Chain A
C-alpha cells in the first residue's frame, strides 16, 4: 500500500495546493474586455452585480416529487395510501397538494407531464393501483405473480409495495415523474428553439426581473437537472444529498462515465453563450446536453440491470424487483427525448419483453436482462467499455 496515502499533513497540503490552483483559475474567468465572458466554474451569472439566475418553479416541482415519493413510501410499511391524496399532490390542489405538501406553490406537476402520458392517464392510473395495492399491504397480502402486495427487500430487511407485475410503486412514481416531467420539460420545452432559439428575446429584461427570456428558459432546464450550482467531479460524499434526481444519478455513474463534468460544462458554457449572444456556441452545448442526458438514462438503466443480475444471483427477489423497477423507469425515460437514438420499438422490447414477458417482472430471465443490456450497449457505444462496471 502507499505509505503516504493516509498521512494527514500531506493530504492537507495537497488540498491546499488544489484549492489554491482552483482559486487562481477562478480569478480570471469573468470579463474579457469586450463585454463577453468566459464560462464560470459554478452556475452563477450576474448583471449589474445582481444574480440573473432563477428557477424557483423547478425547485418547487423537485420538492413536490420528493414529497410524493415520501408519501408513497408510507405504503412500504403497510400503511394505506390514497389515490385522491396522490392526485391532489400531482395537481397541487389548493396550492399545497390538498394539504399533503409541507410548502405552498402555485405550480403543479400534472400540466408539465409528457402529453401522451397525460392522455393515457399514466400516473393517475398508477395512483389508483397504488391505493388498491396498499390495501393488500395493509392486510398483509404478500406480493405474488398477478397480485400486488408487500415483498421484503432482503438486504434492507424492510418491505416494498409492488404492483401485480412486481413493479415498485415508489419507483414508478418518483422515477416515472423524473422522466415524464423533468426530462420532458428539459427536452421538449426548455432546450428547444421555441425557448432558446434565435428568435427568442435575449435583450429585454422580463418585467421586474434581472434576466432575459432566453436566459431564464435555459436556467429552467438547469433547474430540472437537480444539480447544486457548484456541482463538480468528484462530488464529495458529505454533499451527496445536495445532488438531486438526475444530478444524483450523474454522480452515481461518474466513476465510469464523467457525467458530472460533461453535463455541467455544457450547462455552464451554454448559459455563457446566451450571455455572449453566441447562438452557434449555444447550439453546440444544447446538442451535448441532449446526447449526454440521454446517455445518462441509458447508463443508469445498465447500472440497474447489473444490480438486478447480481440480486437474482443471490436469490434476492425483493431486491431484484426494486432494482428492476429502477431499470424499468430509467429505460422508460429514454422515450422522452425528441432526438433519442433508441427507437420506441426497442424501448418497448426492453420494458415489455426483456424485463419479463408482458412487462411482468415475475417472468424476468437472465437472458432477457442480458439482451436488454446488449441492446443498450449497441445503441450507446459509450457504454461498451464500462458495461460491466456501471
Chain B
C-alpha cells in the first residue's frame, strides 16, 4: 500500500513533468517571461526579412535593366551606370544575407549571389568556350556578384578599356552574353527566394509564423533564425569579409584577392553595411520601419538586460573598428594590416556573446557545426 502510494505520486509527478516540458518544447509562450515571441517573429518576417528581399529584388531588377542597356549600347557611361547598379545591389544583399534558411537555402542563394573570390580563370574559360551552365557547383565561383565585379571592373584599367572587351575583343560577344547570363541567374535566384516567402507565392511567411514553429527547438523559426545569424556572423562576416583576407586563416599570410569586392574596391563599405544590418536584426529594427520586438527585447524579458547592453556595445565597437579602416580593403591589408587584425578581434568579441550567451538565454541550440559523425 505504502509502495503503491509512492509509485502513484512518482507517476503523477512524471506525468506532470512530461506535460510541463511538452509545453516549452512546442508551445508559444515562455512561462514567466511574458514575452510575445510570435510578435517578434512577425516583426522579423514582415518588417525585416521580406522587405530585405524586396529591396534586393528591386535593385537586381535595376541591375538587369542596366545590363540590358549596356548590352545594346556598350559605352563607358552605360558601363558606369551598370557599375553603380551592381554596387547598389551588393549593398542591398548585405541586408538579406543573414536569412540563409528555408527559401534561401532551397535556392542556395548566398552561394549563387556572393561566392568569392571569383574564379577568374573559370570565368574566362567559360567565356572562351561559350559552353557553361552557371547553375552547377563547378561554376559557383564563376557567377554571382563577385564574378560580375570582375567583369565590370577587373578586365581593364579604365572604363574605356573595359568597354573594348565588350565591343572589339575577339571574345566580345561571348563576354557580353556571359555578363547577361550571370545577371539573369542572379535575378532568377533572387526572385525565386522572394516569391517563396510571399503570401501570394510559396507563402513561407505562413510557415515561419505558424504555431508549430513558434517554439525554440531545433527547426523552430527562432532556432533557424538564430542559427543562420550566428553562422553568417562567424563564417561570412567575421571570417569571409575580414579574417580570411587579413590572413587569420592562413598562418598570417594575407590574401588580399579574397576580399569581397576585390575589383571594385568597396569591400569595407559592404562589410560595414552588413554589420549594421546585423545590429538591426539584433535590435529588431525594420528595414523601412522603426524599432520593433527583437532579440534585444527578448533578452531583456529574460532578465538578461546586461547581456543585451554588452552585445550592442560590442557590435558598436566592431563597427567603429571597421570604420577606422579604408577602402580598398585589399590595399589596407597590404599596407597596414594591424588595424584590420584589430577589427577582426573586435568582431571576434561578439561571437561568444551571440553564439553562447544569447543562444542559450533564448533557449536555442546551435546546431550548424554538428556533422553526422562519419
**What mask results when residues 16 to 35 of chain A are scored 1 for a CB within 8 Å of chain B, else 0?**
11101100000000000000
A59 at the interface (CB under 8 A from B): no
Judge whether A313 and B115 touch: CB under 8 Å: no
Docked Cα-Cα span, A312 to B111, in Å, equals 7
B17 adjacent to A313 (CB under 8 Å): no
Tell me, yes or no, whether A310 is within 8 Å of chain B by CB: yes
The answer to whether A315 touches B111, judged by C-beta atoms less than 8 angstroms apart, is yes
A48 at the interface (CB under 8 A from B): no
Give A134-151 as 1s and 0s: 1 = Cβ < 8 Å from B's Cβ atoms: 000000000001000000
5 new A-B contacts at CB < 8 Å, known A1-B31, A2-B21, A13-B14 = A1-B32, A155-B369, A307-B372, A313-B110, A366-B135
Contacts of B371 in A (CB 8 A): 153, 155-156, 319
A356: chain B residues at CB < 8 Å are: 136-137
B20 is an interface residue with CB less than 8 A from chain A: yes
Q: Does B219 contact A (CB under 8 A)?
A: yes
A2 contacts B24, CB within 8 Å?
A: yes
A5 at the interface (CB under 8 A from B): yes
A-B contacts, 19 listed (Cβ < 8 Å): A1-B363, A2-B31, A4-B17, A5-B24, A17-B7, A20-B11, A155-B371, A170-B374, A252-B372, A309-B106, A312-B108, A313-B100, A313-B111, A314-B111, A314-B231, A315-B140, A366-B106, A366-B189, A388-B102
Measured in the bound complex, the distance between the Cα atoms of B370 and A252 in whole Å is 13
Given A1-B363, A155-B371, are A314 and B110 also a contact pair (CB < 8 Å)? yes
State whether the Cβ of A364 lies closer than 8 Å to any Cβ in chain B: yes
Q: Pick the contact of B13 from A13, A156, A313, A367 — CB < 8 Å?
A: A13
B-side contacts of A315, CB under 8 Å: 110-111, 115, 140
Interface residues of B in 8-64 (CB under 8 A from A): 10-11, 13-14, 17-18, 20-21, 23-24, 30-32
With an 8 A cutoff between CB atoms, is B73 at the interface? no
**Is B107 positioned at the interface, with any CB of A under 8 Å from its CB?**
yes
Contacts of B32 in A (CB 8 A): 1, 3
**A357 partner residues in chain B, CB cutoff 8 A:** 133, 136
Report chain B residues within 8 Å CB of A312. Answer: 108, 111, 137, 140
Asked whether B136 lies within 8 Å of A364 as measured between CB atoms, the reply is yes
Which single member of B23, B24, B30, B106 contacts A370 (CB below 8 Å)?
A: B106
Q: Do B14 and A17 have beta carbons less than 8 Å apart?
A: yes
State how many residues of chain A have any CB contact under 8 Å with chain B.
44
| Shortest beta-carbon distance from B239 to chain A in Å | 11
Nearest residue (CB) in B for A303 is B372
Interface residues of chain A: helix, strand, loop or mixed (majority) = helix
Using CB atoms and an 8 Å cutoff, list the residues of chain B in contact with chain A: 7, 10-11, 13-14, 17-18, 20-21, 23-24, 30-32, 100, 102, 104-112, 115, 133, 135-138, 140, 189, 219, 231, 235, 363, 369, 371-372, 374
1/0 per residue, CB under 8 A from B, across A193-207: the answer is 000000000000000
On chain B, the residues within 8 Å of A320 by CB distance are 137
| Pairwise interchain contact B14-A4, C-beta atoms closer than 8 A | no
Query: Is the pair A20, B7 in contact by a Cβ cutoff of 8 Å?
Result: yes
Nearest residue (CB) in A for B369 is A155
Docked CA distance A313–B17 (Å): 39
Q: Does A389 contact B (CB under 8 A)?
A: yes
Complex-state Cα separation, A20 to B17, whole angstroms: 16
Q: What is the CB-to-nearest-CB distance from A333 to chain B, in angstroms, rounded to a whole number?
A: 16
Q: How far is the CB of B187 from chain A (nearest CB, A)?
A: 15
Contacts A5-B21, A155-B371 given; does A313 touch B133 at CB 8 Å: no
How close is A55's CB to chain B, nearest CB, in angstroms?
24
Query: How distant is A335 from chain B, measured CB to nearest CB, in Å?
Result: 23
Known: A14-B17, A252-B372. A365 touches B24 (CB 8 A): no
Q: Which of B30, B136, B231 contacts A363 (CB 8 A)?
A: B136
Q: Is the CB of A17 within 8 A of B13?
A: yes
Smallest CB gap from A366: residue in B: B108
User: Could you say which residues of chain B place their CB within 8 Å of the CB of A21?
Assistant: 11
Scoring B7, B23, B111 by chain A CB atoms within 10 A of each residue's CB, the highest score goes to: B111
Q: Shortest Cβ distance from B31 into chain A, in angstroms?
A: 7
Q: Which of B11, B23, B111, B189 meets A2, CB within 8 Å?
A: B23
Residues of A with C-beta under 8 A to B23: 2
The answer for the CA separation of A112 and B353 in the assembled complex, in Å, is 55
A166: min CB distance to chain B, Å: 8
Given the known A-B contacts A5-B21, A314-B231, are A17 and B137 also in contact in the complex, defined by CB atoms under 8 Å? no
> Is the CB of A214 closer than 8 A to any CB of chain B?
no
Name the contact of B20 in the complex, choosing from A4, A155, A313, A370 (C-beta under 8 A).
A4
Q: Is the CB of B137 within 8 A of A362?
A: yes
The interface residues of chain A lying within 8 Å CB-to-CB of B372 are 252, 307, 323, 326
Q: Determine how close the nearest CB of chain A comes to the CB of B123; give it in whole angstroms.
A: 15
Interface centre among B20, B110, B136 (most CB of A within 10 A): B136
**Is A361 positioned at the interface, with any CB of B under 8 Å from its CB?**
yes
Task: State the Cβ distance, A253 to closest chain B Cβ, in Å.
Answer: 12
Determine the distance from Cα of A20 to Cα of B11 in the docked complex, in whole angstroms. 9
User: CA A195 – CA B10 in complex, angstroms?
Assistant: 47
Residues from chain B with a CB closer than 8 A to the CB of A252 are 372
Chain A residues, Cβ within 8 Å of B20: 2, 4-5
**A361 cross-chain contacts in B, Cβ below 8 A:** 137
Q: Does A10 contact B (CB under 8 A)?
A: yes
User: In the complex, are the beta carbons of B10 and A20 less than 8 A apart?
Assistant: yes
Say whether A317 faces chain B, with CB atoms less than 8 Å apart. yes
Which chain B residue shows the least CB distance to A11?
B17
CA distance in complex: A189, B347 (Å): 60
A307 CA to B100 CA, complexed, in Å? 13
Across-interface contacts of B363 in A (CB, < 8 A) = 1
Q: Which 7 A-B pairs have the closest CB atoms?
A: A17-B14, A365-B135, A14-B14, A17-B10, A362-B138, A17-B11, A366-B108
